[in-house]
Structure 1
Amino acid sequence: MNNASIVFTPAAQKAQAERGSARAYAARVAEGFPDTVTPELAKFIAEQDTVFLGTASADGAPYIQHRGGPPGFIKVIDEKTLGFADYRGNRQYITLANLSENDRAYLFLLDPARKQRIKIWGRARVIENDVALVEKLFDAGYKAKPERAILFTIEAWDVNCSQHIVTRYTEAQLEAGFADVRRHIAALEAENATLRAQLAQVQTQ
């Protein structure tokens, strides 16, 4: 048995068969999905500053919560485990309540600038009162108050297609691009000033 049924549940496989896409996914179903952190996945995670965390209550009521922080706020603990500090928020505690009765969870990572997205299925647990772990996961200098840690055990992950992702850039990404433009403009202005000076010198001779 592999983990394909986590990503493609029996109902999903039935729908694929009925709608003609089962053959396209037959090899993946036979092989299963990756369930450990590869260097490529680790690099992608280290570049992200946002994630959507999906959980559900014991009776299946779904909930999605945005989590964010500095790039790389999600840490790779080991080849099967991710972790991040849980910051003080609006104190609704829906995610924490869901995980207390149903540990199944899902991470959706989206990088609009590169038009890439990765889906991760697994189990999550809340770790309270572990100061050392929170300090390990918290990015020093970030303006937030960490209250606990959340650890996520990977059961399967998949790279989603880039269709319909609208390209967007963060302020930091735009600033880096503008910095290159400003340097290029400064170089052109300096060259222009030099040429004007040379022209003026020629005209006075």
Structure 2
Amino acid sequence: MRLASEHRGLIAKQRHFYLATVTPSGWPYLQHRGGPRGFVHVLDDHTLAFADFDGNEQFVSTGNIDAGGRVAMFFVDYPTRTRLKVFGTARVIAAEEDPDLHERLLDVPGGRIKSPSRRSIVVDVEAFDMNCRKYIVPRFEREAVDRMIAPYRDDLIAANARIKELEARVAELERGA
């Protein structure tokens, strides 16, 4: 299966996703992964990758990947109520094993990621699914809300200024009457 442009676009704008791995004993393990917009890179139609940021030093996900590699990635775009599940086989690559890849993954549309990272995770996509959006509650980031309400805020500021101007004019007319 090939990731289409709609899948690539949804992934590229995300600031987080949920990563599911499988423990050596067969149990699922789920972890939230976050970073700046675009931290998950679509390398091609079949491959995703991201820099693995230093965290709590437990290495559960990376250990599970080393043990078997099966992963699921769950992306949710709340404003459009869209979700994408990606299933694949992952591998952990130390930064020194492929420094060019690691450096590439630290570059995002907003600049360079400053969070410490010593490894990359590369996922060979085997399947994906976009399905029901019925119960996804829309959620918007502050910057998006600010953009949406800016025209109304500007109108309100202008209206309040005009009201003060008219009140001053009325007061002036009342003093003259």
Global fold match (TM > 0.5) = yes
Determine the structure 2 residue equivalent to 1:177. 148
Match of 1:136 among 104, 124, 132: 104
Determine the structure 1 residue equivalent to 2:72. 106
Q: CA deviation at 1:144?
A: 1.3
Determine the structure 1 residue equivalent to 2:5. 39
What is the CA deviation profile of residues 130-161 of structure 1, one whole-angstrom value per residue up to 9, with x for unaligned ones? Answer: 22211111134444112211111111111121
Amino acid at match of 2:139: R
CA distance in 2, matches of 1:38, 1:156: 12
What is the CA deviation profile of residues 75-129 of structure 1, one whole-angstrom value per residue up to 9, with x for unaligned ones? Answer: 1111111111110000110111111111111110012222211111111111112
Amino acid at match of 1:77: L
CA distance in 1, matches of 2:5, 2:165: 49
What is the CA deviation profile of residues 152-198 of structure 1, one whole-angstrom value per residue up to 9, with x for unaligned ones? Answer: 11111111211222222223333333434422322323444555567
RMSD: 2.3
Q: CA deviation at 1:36?
A: 1.2
Q: Which runs of 5+ in 2 are unaligned?
A: none
CA distance in 1, matches of 2:93, 2:52: 9
Determine the structure 1 residue equivalent to 2:88. 122
Determine the structure 2 residue equivalent to 1:87. 53
- Kindly tell me: are residues 93 and 179 of structure 1, through their superposed partners in 2, closer, same or farther at Cα, counting changes over 3 Å? same
Q: Which runs of 5+ in 1 are unaligned?
A: 1-34
Determine the structure 1 residue equivalent to 2:127. 156
TM normalised by structure 2 equals 0.84
Amino acid at match of 2:140: Y
Q: Percent identity?
A: 35
CA distance in 2, matches of 1:141, 1:182: 33
Q: Which has the higher helix share?
A: 1
CA distance in 1, matches of 2:114, 2:156: 35
TM normalised by structure 1 equals 0.73
CA distance in 2, matches of 1:120, 1:142: 24
Aligned residues: 171
